[in-house]
Amino acid sequence: MSKDNYRLNVKLGGGPIFLGAGVLGAVLCVVSYVQNPRDFFASYLTAFAFFLAIALGSFFFVFVQHLARSAWSVTVRRISETVAANLPWMALLFIPIVVGAHYLLPWLDPHMRATDRLVQMKAPYLNQTFLWIRAAAYFIIWSVLSLYFLNTSRKQDESKDPALTTQMGKVAAAAAILFTLTQTFWAFDWIMSLDPHWFSTMFGVYYFAGSVVAQYCFLILISAALRGKTGRKDIYRTDHFHDAGKLLFGHNVFWTYIGFSQFFLIWYANIPEETLFFLHRSAGSWKVVSLMLPWCHFAIPFLYLMSWHVKRNIVAICIGCAWLLTMCYIDIFWLIQPNFHHEGVHFGLSDIGSILAVGGFFLFLFIRRLNSANLIPAGDPRLPDCLTYDNGVITNEQH
C-alpha cells in the first residue's frame, strides 16, 4: 500500500447543524431555568453525565489500546482520541453544574449539615472545599492526558517516530491508575451523593461500565459514518466492526453483571440506607423504567448482538448501537432523576434543552477537531498490520 493511502483527510459533515442544535438547546435551557431552576440543573446534570460518559469511555479505550499494544484498532483509535480530547471542553460545560450545585447536592445545605448525623459523619469527604478541589483535579487530569494522547499521536503522523508509540504505552499505565480513581470519585461526587444517605462501593464501576458501552456505540456509529463518507473499506474494515461489536457485547454483559451484583447485595443486606435507592426507583412510573432496563439494556441487545451476522453487517450493528446508546442515556436518567422526582418519571423542556445544548456543542467540537487533521494515525508503526487485519473469520465470500 502506498504512503498516500496512510492519509485520510475527508471532512465529516454536520458540524453547523450540531452547533445550531447547541445554540437552540442553550436558549431552551435559559427558558427552563427561569421556569424551574431545580428541574433545569437536574436535567443538565443528566445530559452532562451522559456525554461525559462517552468522553471518558473513549479515553479508556485509547489508553487500553496502548497498554495492549493493539494493532487491530489503530485506524479507529483516532476517533476515540478525538472524542476524549473533548474533556477540556467538558470542563467549560461543567460550569452550570458548579453554579447550581446547591440545587443538586442536598448536603451543601447548612441546615442539613448542622442536623443530619450521617452527613456530619461523612463531612471529611462531603465538604464544599474538598468537593471543588476534587472537581478541579478531575478535569485537569483528564484534560492533560487526553490532549497528550491526541497531540502525540498527531505528532507521530508527521515524524513517523516509533519511539512515540513506546512513550504513549508508558504514559498509558499511569493514565489507567489516574482514570480509575478520578472516574470513580466523579461518579460518587455528582451522582451518588445526590442522596447523601445512600452509598455503594460498586457505583463507580457501574458508571464506568455504562460509559464503556456508550463509547463503543459511539465509536461504531462514527466509524460507519466515515466508512460511508470516504468509501475506504480497507481502513474501516468489516473485521473492525466485528471486533468492536464483540467488545460492545462483552462490556454490556459486564454492565449487567455489575448492576445485578449491586442490586443483589443491597437486597440481601436489607440495610435501610441502601434499600432507599431502589425504593425511590420502584415508585410510580419509575417502576416501569426499572423493569425496562434489564430487558432493553441487556436482554434484547444480548440476543441481537450475539449474532455473527449482525456484528458484520454495518447497518444492523449501527441499529443496535443507536438502541444501546439510547438505553445508556435512560440508565443515567434513571440514576439521577428519581432524586428530584420521587413520584415518577418527569421528562420535559429542561431535558430536551439540556440534551441539545450539551450534545450539540459536544458533537460540534468533536467534528471540528476530527476534521482538522488526518483521520487515522498515519505514523503508528502498527498501522500496516491494521490495514491488513483479518480476525480469522471465514465469510461466505471466502469459500
For 235-252, write each residue's pLDDT tens digit.
899 999 999 999 999 999
pLDDT at position 12 is 85
Residue ranges, the chain, pLDDT below 70? 1-6, 393-399
pLDDT on residue 73 = 95
pLDDT at 5: 54
d(CA 371, CA 346): 38
What is the reported pTM? 0.96
d(CA 189, CA 187) in angstroms, rounded, equals 6
Q: What is the pLDDT of residue 167?
A: 97
pLDDT at 397 (0 to 100): 42
d(CA 269, CA 17): 50
DSSP-assigned letters across all residues of 296-362: IIIIHHHHHHT-HHHHT-HHHHHHHHHHHHHHHHHHHHHHHGGGT-TTS----HHHHHHHHHHHHHH
Q: Is 8 helix (H, G, I), strand (E, B) or coil?
A: coil
Q: What is the pLDDT of residue 1?
A: 44
Residue 24 CA to residue 32 CA, distance in Å, equals 12
φ and ψ at 296, to 5 degrees? -85, -25
User: How far is Cα 161 from Cα 228, in angstroms, rounded to an integer?
Assistant: 31
Distances (CA, A) of 9 to 5, 226, 385: 11, 11, 21
20 Cβ neighbours under 8 A, 6+ residues apart: 360
Note the helical H segments in the chain. 15-35, 37-67, 74-84, 87-93, 95-99, 101-104, 110-115, 117-121, 128-159, 163-190, 203-230, 238-269, 272-280, 286-293, 300-305, 308-311, 314-336, 349-370, 383-387
Which amino acid does the sequence have at 267?
Answer: W
pLDDT for 398: 41
Residue 7 has a pLDDT of 72
Q: Give the angle subtended at the CA of 286 by the CAs of 283 and 292, to the nearest 5°.
A: 130
Burial 272-285 (b: 16+ CB within 10 A, else e): eebeebbebbeeee
Cβ atoms of 183 and 207 closer than 8 Å = yes
Grid cell at residue 268 = 440481601
Q: CA 164: distance to chain centroid?
A: 27
Q: What is the pLDDT of residue 282?
A: 93
pLDDT of 273: 80
